Each structure stands twice: as C-alpha cells, then as structure tokens.
C-alpha cells in the first residue's frame, strides 16, 4: 500500500521560495507512475501544479511554469516542489499524488498524500 507524505515549512514569506518534499513509502518511485503536485486554496477547488516521471520527464501547469520546479530523488524515493516568488495567492493545501503511466486509469490520480497547508504571510 503506497503512502505519500508531504513535508514543508508551513509558513513562507511573500517573494520567497516555497519548498516541499513528498516521501513515498510502500512503492518504488521508479515503477510505473508519474508523481504529481496539486494544490487547493482554502475553500476552493483543485489546481494541478505539475507531474514528474523518475526519468526526468516533467509537465507543468502553463499558468505556473515560470515559477515551478519539480524534481525527483530516486535514492531517497521522494520528489520535491519549489515555487518561487510566492504571494498570498499561493496560500493553499499542497498535495502530492501519483497517476499511472499507462492503462485505463492513466488519466486519474489513484493515491494522494494527506496534504500540507502552506500559508504565505509576512
């Protein structure tokens, strides 16, 4: 049973860079899945941030691509998110997740972390 656990600072100052890590347990990050970041502003809907494959293939939301970097560390079985120049609009619950690379459910996220709340405030 895969488990995904986000970790991060909780509070980030405006204009700084938000850094989050997702630790994957119970499953190898090199096996058959893309690894995703999704966020949800308080009381709002879901927004996809980006996805990465262990080989380094990466896709970003066009609306965030200038500020986002996603990377993977296969030796630690984890992946990370960096979001630069944050503002209050980046305050949200940040989820890490995964979706399969192939098959009928390849367009669906089948596992989610519990999320970590990031507040942007001075």
Partner 1 sequence: EIVLTQSPGTLSLSPGERATLSCRASQTISSSYLTWYQQKPGQSPRLLIYGASTRATSIPDRFSGSGSGTDFTLTISRLEPEDFAVYYCQHYGSSLWTFGQGTRVEIK
Residues that bind partner 1 (CB under 8 A): 36, 38, 45-48, 51, 59, 61-62, 95, 99, 104-110, 112-115
Residue 42 or 122: the one with the smaller Cβ distance to partner 1 is 42
Which DSSP helix (H) or strand (E) runs through 56?
none
Q: How far is the CB of 111 from partner 1 (least distance, A)?
A: 8
What's CA 2's distance to the chain center, in Å? 16
Q: Tokens 């690894």 identify what position? A: 35
Q: Write down the least CB distance from residue 95 to partner 1, Å.
A: 6
Query: Nearer Cβ to partner 1, position 16 or 47?
Result: 47
Quote the least distance from Cβ 79 to partner 1, whole Å.
16
Interatomic CA distance for residues 111 and 60, integer angstroms:
19
Dihedral pair phi/psi, residue 2, rounded to 5°: -70, 145
What is 14-42 written as a DSSP string? TTS-EEEEEEEESS-TTSSEEEEEEEE-T
Residue 104 DSSP label: T
| Residue with smaller CB distance to partner 1, 46 or 88 | 46
Q: Which residue's CB is nearer to partner 1, number 79 or number 113?
A: 113
Minimum CB separation of residue 109 from partner 1 in Å reads 6
């Amino acid at each position: 049973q895969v488990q995904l656990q986000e970790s991060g600072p909780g509070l980030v100052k405006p204009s700084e860079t938000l850094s989050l890590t997702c630790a994957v347990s119970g499953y190898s990050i090199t096996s058959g899945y893309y690894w995703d970041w999704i966020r949800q502003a308080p009381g709002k809907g879901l927004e996809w941030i980006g996805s990465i494959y262990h080989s380094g293939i990466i896709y970003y939301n066009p609306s965030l691509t200038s500020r986002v970097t996603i990377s993977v560390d296969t030796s630690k079985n984890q992946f990370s998110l960096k979001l630069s120049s944050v503002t209050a609009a980046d305050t949200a619950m940040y989820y890490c997740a995964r979706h399969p690379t192939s098959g009928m459910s390849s367009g669906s996220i089948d596992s989610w972390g519990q999320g970590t709340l990031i507040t942007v405030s001075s």
